[in-house]
Structure 1
Amino acid sequence: MLGLMQDRPLLISQIIDFAGRYYPDVEIVTRTVEGPIHRYGYGDALRRSKQLAEALQGLGIKLGDPVGTIAWNTYRHFELYFGISGIGAVLHTINPRLAPEHVAYIANHAEDKAIFVDLNLLPIVEGVYPHLKTVKHVVVMTDRAHMPASSKIPNLLCYEELIAKQPGTLTWPIFDEKTASSLCYTSGTTGNPKGVLYSHRSTMIHSIMASNGSAIPMNPDSTLLPVVPMFHANAWGLVYAAPMCGAKLVFPGPKLDGASIYELLDKEKVTLSAGVPTVWLALLDYCAQNKLKMSSVKRTLIGGSAVPFAMIERFWKDHDVEVIQGWGMTEMSPLGTVTRFNRGERELPDSERFAITAKAGRPVFGCDMKIIDDAGNDLPQDGSVSGNLVVRGPWIVKGYMKGDGKGQFLEDDWFMTGDVCKIEADGSVVITDRSKDVIKSGGEWISSIDLENAAMGCPGVAEAAVIGVAHPKWDERPLMIVVKRPDADVTKADILKFLEGKIAKWWMPDDVQFIEAIPHGATGKILKTALRKQFEDYKLPTA
């Protein structure tokens, strides 16, 4: 027997309709690419999203057509999120930090019909334009006063002129909720990037879950500043969840330095922010150097890579800011786990409470996960053993675009994440490493993440990375690579002394090397492939 309930499709256009009707005056604030601060409400965003949708139809964009964006977190990019998907076209967010050959590859692989680009990112499109096979229109996201001339791209269109001609009276079309809504490519650190094609249904379910108070707490009293870019995994779904909740949005535009982020946090009374550890490190250092405190921020969501224990302490102790650590992947829309305190855990002593936050979090509702061995056998989830993490759920990829990467998809919809972790009895996930980064020494595993997080607590250490280096006896041994804080005189001996008692003795790095900067990939993660290349001829002193 089936239930007698209406079967209405879940469509992304419903989010902006809801926010525009019930929260019309709730602000969206943007530090624009042109410079000034821009303000308007969800009601204005709804109207302009419809104008954009009408303009797209005028350009010949139809159901299923991919439309690329190369843009920062701004109100215009927000309008693209809803205007493109709202008519059944596919929002394809392109990471401007990718290598030019990858930008061209994914635009062609996706078969983008148009590209919308921010003013200061136009040179990227100019550089790859001769190689783009399907792009018919390039739209610069600015007004006529700032519109550039380009000899490399014919017939550049101006965003504001394009939408100004439209009435904004569109009735959003209705179509199957499994229709593709947006497209995001993996960062391509090994081989070509792979396309993750989200649906309206998956995005809506993920957004409803994300706005759940036990995941990312938001309501009409919240002010959210998403530093996590809208070109990466849909800004972790926050730009959908915030309008669902009626939360004020503050977009940082292209300026992501500590001073600029602090200014917006302070002036706009931000209560919740989200970004990767490298962004927060810069912000914390800026605050410390200028004796500033984040007065309004209550929580910060940190993901993208493991959060060092020392960073958690600095947020809580220096700024009274609760850290929510999240783990997920582009392939997971992206949320899989977040820090969630069970009853009574907030009252624990600082060290115990911080230790909970230092884990990758607990699974969010809707994301099923387990660990398996290399043969595919289930492993116990009692914290006793590490294994390969596999996940499944209604917002998790079942295949890459055009059939790429088939080896990661297992029976019964399980997706092989590439992470190695422990799952504790209470559901807490402890990421040990990426499977490609774990150090195998004498038949045992050493977690590079744990070593890095421990080193980050050492005075004078700005950033640390650990890679495995060949050893004639132990197969591999850990090499720690460190960036010093400005004016710090920390030495190898200082770091090794600091690590004593904090890690297993046999985990102790065989050497410490200091460099000026640790390379990061397009999404802010430490680029260990580059470090391995940099140190490919290095010999450990113990070898």
Structure 2
Amino acid sequence: PMFHVNAWGTPYAAAMVGCTLVLPGPGLDGASLVNLIDNYQVSVALGVPTIWQGLIAAANQSGSKLESLKRNVVGGSACPPAMLRAFKEQFNCETIHAWGMTEISPLGTANQLKTKHLHLSDEEKLQIRLSQGRPPFGVDLRLTDAEKGTHEIERDGQTTGNLQVKGHWVISHYFGKEESALTADGWFDTGDIATLDQDGFMKLSDRSKDLIKSGGEWISSVELENIAMGHPEIAMAAVIAAQHPKWDERPVLIAIKKPDSQLSETDLLEYYADKVAKWQIPDRVVFVDAIPLSGTGKMLKKDLRELYGTILLEQAAG
């Protein structure tokens, strides 16, 4: 949408290189987007994961192969691995992960493979593609330890920390606020939890507010959502922290089944068995007809927490 960081800066890029820009307006349902791509021979498309879920479903239903589409860019939230595979295997489309924020005007990272990665197998390349990529010129990233404020932690691709960013076009103050938006040493804290590796590839683990703290241990809602999205009968999934009488918080999965699916709660929970540690498996699955989305297509987990945040307490109370 044009109101969202000027459509990620795409209108400016399109004008600079002289390419045709196709805007869908309010027609963001899958069928409308399939028609738009096929009719206007769109070669590059950008959107959030919920938009692409609808597009893939509609393309499969109509039989379209989206033949003109060569690349798509996914941002706004982490792209499920199953979606990257679907674009590559079903539509021969290269999916590029990216990350940014309004506060950084807006691009923070984009995922392009390095020369040393070109000889890797498709599966190995996919694993690299799952990260949000590397920052462009002018943007610096670091990870800090939550307990030690500005203490920078290791870039080993495994250790998670608070993602902070620095650059000439990174926000310094919010409109109407006198206090600085930056840390004491000049970095902007994004509110994201991530890893960084030695090549500079950044991978988001979660938003700090969406992490689930169960019995003192952290659980990533994104990881659990990606697993659910890998199930062939799930159309959309969100994981929230629900209050728990013993463990403080436990994960609850809110999911939309694909049409005609007979999938049960037990079936879906068993799907997690060999994919995460047993204590990370959600306590409940709630099947719904719709998940609330923001104007930019992101899942509104705040609304879901208001609806289902006490479901485990109610269950324990009998």
Shorter-chain TM range is over 0.9
Relative to structure 1, the CA distance from residue 504 to residue 351 in structure 2 (aligned partners, 3 Å threshold; closer, same or farther) is farther
Aligned length: 314
2:99 is aligned with what amino acid?
W
Q: Does 1:389 align with 2:138?
A: no
Matches within 5 A, 1:252-331: 252-331=24-103
Q: Is the 8 A contact 2:205 2:220 kept in 1?
A: yes
Q: Is the 8 A contact 1:326 1:338 kept in 2?
A: yes
TM-score by length of 1: 0.56
Q: Is the 8 A contact 1:234 1:333 kept in 2?
A: no
Which residue of 1 is the match for residue 208 of structure 2? 435
Alignment partner of 2:153 out of 376, 379, 385: 379
Distance in 1 between residues matched to 2:271 and 2:123, nearest whole Å:
18
Over residues 419-447 of structure 1, what are the superposed CA-to-partner deviations in whole Å (9 max), with x where a residue is unaligned? 11111222221211111110111222110
The DSSP-based 3-state class of the residue aligned with 1:523 is coil
Alignment partner of 1:520 out of 280, 293, 301: 293
Which residue of 2 is the match for residue 195 of structure 1? none
Relative to structure 1, the CA distance from residue 388 to residue 407 in structure 2 (aligned partners, 3 Å threshold; closer, same or farther) is farther
CA offset at residue 412 of structure 1? 3.5
2:218 is aligned with what amino acid?
W
Over residues 76-102 of structure 1, what are the superposed CA-to-partner deviations in whole Å (9 max), with x where a residue is unaligned? xxxxxxxxxxxxxxxxxxxxxxxxxxx
Matches within 5 A, 1:34-433: 229-374=1-146, 375-376=148-149, 377-403=151-177, 406=179, 408-433=181-206
1:450 is aligned with what amino acid?
E
CA offset at residue 542 of structure 1? 7.6
The DSSP-based 3-state class of the residue aligned with 1:265 is helix
The DSSP-based 3-state class of the residue aligned with 2:115 is coil
CA offset at residue 367 of structure 1? 1.1
TM-score by length of 2: 0.93
Q: Does 1:495 align with 2:282?
A: no
CA offset at residue 244 of structure 1? 1.1
Q: Which contiguous aligned blocks of 4+ residues in structure 1 show a shift greater than 6 angstroms?
A: none
Over residues 451-509 of structure 1, what are the superposed CA-to-partner deviations in whole Å (9 max), with x where a residue is unaligned? 10111011211111111122233221111111111111111222122222222222111
Distance in 2 between residues matched to 1:269 and 1:331, nearest whole Å:
33
CA offset at residue 449 of structure 1? 0.6
Q: Is the 8 A contact 2:172 2:181 kept in 1?
A: no
Q: Percent identity?
A: 47
Distance in 2 between residues matched to 1:396 and 1:356, nearest whole Å:
26
The DSSP-based 3-state class of the residue aligned with 1:280 is helix
Alignment partner of 1:530 out of 296, 303, 307: 303
Relative to structure 1, the CA distance from residue 320 to residue 344 in structure 2 (aligned partners, 3 Å threshold; closer, same or farther) is farther
Q: Is the 8 A contact 1:468 1:476 kept in 2?
A: yes
Distance in 2 between residues matched to 1:349 and 1:497, nearest whole Å:
30
Over residues 12-71 of structure 1, what are the superposed CA-to-partner deviations in whole Å (9 max), with x where a residue is unaligned? xxxxxxxxxxxxxxxxxxxxxxxxxxxxxxxxxxxxxxxxxxxxxxxxxxxxxxxxxxxx
Distance in 1 between residues matched to 2:262 and 2:303, nearest whole Å:
26
Distance in 1 between residues matched to 2:316 and 2:195, nearest whole Å:
30
Gaps of 5+ in 2: none
Larger radius of gyration: 1
Distance in 2 between residues matched to 1:443 and 1:512, nearest whole Å:
22
Distance in 1 between residues matched to 2:233 and 2:136, nearest whole Å:
36
Q: Is the 8 A contact 1:306 1:449 kept in 2?
A: yes
1:273 is aligned with what amino acid?
A
Distance in 2 between residues matched to 1:489 and 1:499, nearest whole Å:
18
Distance in 2 between residues matched to 1:355 and 1:250, nearest whole Å:
31
CA offset at residue 407 of structure 1? 7.1
Q: Does 1:508 align with 2:281?
A: yes
Q: Is the 8 A contact 1:459 1:490 kept in 2?
A: no
Distance in 2 between residues matched to 1:358 and 1:301, nearest whole Å:
12
Which residue of 1 is the match for residue 253 of structure 2? 480
Distance in 2 between residues matched to 1:492 and 1:531, nearest whole Å:
18
The DSSP-based 3-state class of the residue aligned with 1:412 is coil
The DSSP-based 3-state class of the residue aligned with 2:195 is strand
2:221 is aligned with what amino acid?
S
Over residues 163-216 of structure 1, what are the superposed CA-to-partner deviations in whole Å (9 max), with x where a residue is unaligned? xxxxxxxxxxxxxxxxxxxxxxxxxxxxxxxxxxxxxxxxxxxxxxxxxxxxxx
Over residues 382-409 of structure 1, what are the superposed CA-to-partner deviations in whole Å (9 max), with x where a residue is unaligned? 12321111101122111111117x4742
CA offset at residue 250 of structure 1? 1.6
Over residues 352-410 of structure 1, what are the superposed CA-to-partner deviations in whole Å (9 max), with x where a residue is unaligned? 22222222222222210101122311111112321111101122111111117x47421
2:211 is aligned with what amino acid?
V
Distance in 2 between residues matched to 1:340 and 1:381, nearest whole Å:
19
